[in-house]
Amino acid sequence: MQTNILAMDENSLAQAKQLLLQGECVAFPTETVYGLGADARSDAAVENIYRVKGRPQDNPLIVHVHPGYDISSLVFDEQPYVRKLRDAFLPGPLTLVYRSRGKVSAKVSCGLDTLAVRVPSHPDAQRFLRYVDIPVAAPSANRSKHVSPVSARHVYDDLHGKIPLILDGGPCTGGIESTVCDVTGPYPVVLRAGLVSREMIASVAGRCEAYVPKEGEQVRSPGMKYKHYAPACATLYFAADAAEAARAALEENVRAGKRVRVLCEHTLAQKFPAEAVLDLGADAEEMAENLYRLLREAEEAADLLIAVEPAERGGVMTGVLNRLRKACAGE
């Protein structure tokens, strides 16, 4: 199958709609990462997503809709704080997990009685979703377990030959996936940290907890149990206060003839040779925006990536650190 990368216009949107209605997958930009979209109403189309990505069949998908879409046709929203969350953060990088009305393919939620719904803020994502005007199931458009794509080229590198069309909306500025938040209970529970932080949600809803699986309990966001975001090169992971040890490891591996890169926050960058440094940036939002692009650069340029953990700052940093550890520390 030939994979076309097209800018968004009348012609590419019409193609995208036709492909989706035929059960094919189409990649599209969002403010977080690129999504691999398919018709959420069709079992066969949703199966196609799992096949194309090589994704485990027990990791449910997020349904994407445009801001004008009537979400109440898909889910029950019983909790009084949900409207406040929607008013404060949507459209945007916050996915809410509701009790499902069962109106989309059961394969979207892998048989769970809940449904994750997201309304992206990216203008091209909205244009695409408005044009097709159906619920679009979409995981990140990468090979399963690889680094999520933040450009059309990244999608192409992972999935060319497997999907017919990538809609190109330029680089994603959010950079890490949406916050996934369960809103079925008396207060919201963050299942996956992201650009809308637990603290931000708590300030609107009054209370918000981060989900911590209890010993022996079935994982509530099944995707969290898998290794993710991993670059193709070897990785070494150092704590925030271990920059000296990281530098020793760099020197040793360079002496051994390896091509090495060091990923670290801006304040540590001058501790390493300029040609080896991948500078994540100074604050959490910058680091989120740069993280996946730099992980992909590292795997192309290096045999070994040495990551030095940025300092914990709470807020958005929680999501950045979660991704970085899964990518480089083998958690």
Q: Which residues bind ligand TXA (CB under 6 A)?
A: 30, 32-33, 35, 59-62, 93, 95, 97, 109, 112, 114-116, 118, 138-140, 177-178, 180, 191-192, 220-224
Partner from ligand TXA, Mg ion, none binding residue 326, C-beta < 5-8 Å depending on class: none
Which one of Mg ion, ligand TXA, none is in contact with 151 (Cβ closer than 5 to 8 A by kind)? none
Q: Are 281 and 266 in contact (CB under 8 A)?
A: yes
Q: Which residue is nearest to ligand TXA (CB)?
A: 223
Tokens coding 120: 């992206």
In angstroms, what is the minimal distance from the CB of 312 to ligand TXA? 22
In the bound complex, what is the minimum distance in angstroms from residue 323's beta carbon to ligand TXA? 11
Question: What is d(CA 40, CA 62) in angstroms, rounded to the nearest whole number?
Answer: 9
Least distance (Å) from Mg ion to the CB of residue 118? 13
Name the β-bridge partners of 117: 63, 96
Q: Please choose, out of 54-62, 89-97, 139-147, 214-222, the segment that lies near Mg ion by the rule CB under 5 A.
A: 139-147
Question: For residue 64, what is the enclosing H or E element?
Answer: strand 62-64
Q: Is 144 exposed, middle or buried (0-12, 13-18, 19+ CB in 10 A)?
A: middle
Nearest approach in angstroms of CB 31 to Mg ion is 15
- Taking the complex as a whole, the smallest distance from the CB of residue 112 to ligand TXA amounts, in Å, to 5
> Both ends of the chain: CA-CA distance in Å?
35
Q: Which does 322 bind (CB under 5 to 8 A by kind): ligand TXA, Mg ion, none?
A: none
Q: Is 30 in the site for Mg ion (CB under 5 A)?
A: no
Q: Would strands 179-182 and 189-192 be described as parallel, antiparallel, or unpaired?
A: antiparallel
- The interface region with Mg ion, picked from 135-143, 199-207, 241-249, 272-280 by CB under 5 A, is 135-143
Peptide bond connecting 273 to the previous residue in cis, omega within 30 degrees of 0: no
User: What's the rounded Cα separation, in Å, for the pair 103 and 149?
Assistant: 29
- Tell me which residue has its CB nearest to Mg ion: 140
Q: Of the two residues 141 and 278, which places its CB atom closer to ligand TXA in the complex?
A: 141
Beta-carbon neighbour count of residue 11 at 10 Å?
A: 10
* Contact call for residue 109 and Mg ion (CB under 5 A): no
Using N-to-C axis directions, what is the helix angle for 10-21 and 123-132, rounded to 10°?
A: 50
Sign, CA dihedral 39-41-45-48, equals positive
Q: Which residues pair with 210 in a beta bridge?
A: 190
How near is the Cβ of 148 to Mg ion at its closest, in Å? 5
CB of 5 to ligand TXA, least distance (A): 17
Please identify, using beta-carbon distances, which residue of 59 and 121 lies nearer to Mg ion. 59
Give dist(CA 262, CA 278) in Å, integer: 6
Of 140 and 322, which has the nearer Cβ to Mg ion? Answer: 140
Binds 59: which of ligand TXA, Mg ion, none (CB < 5-8 Å by kind): ligand TXA
160: phi then psi, degrees, rounded to nearest 5: -65, 145
Of 11 and 76, the one with the shorter C-beta distance to ligand TXA is 76
Nearer to ligand TXA, 60 or 231 (CB): 60
Task: Output the smallest distance, CB 184 to Mg ion, in A.
Answer: 22
Residue 268 interacting entry, from Mg ion, ligand TXA, none, C-beta within 5 to 8 Å by type:
none
d(C-alpha 5, C-alpha 167), whole Å: 6
C-alpha span between 32 and 35 (Å, rounded)? 9
221 binds Mg ion, rule: CB under 5 A = no
Q: In which region does residue 51 sit, left (phi positive, over 0), alpha (psi from -120 to 50) or beta (all else)?
A: alpha
Does position 140 bind Mg ion by CB under 5 A? Answer: yes
Name the site residues for Mg ion (rule: CB under 5 A): 140
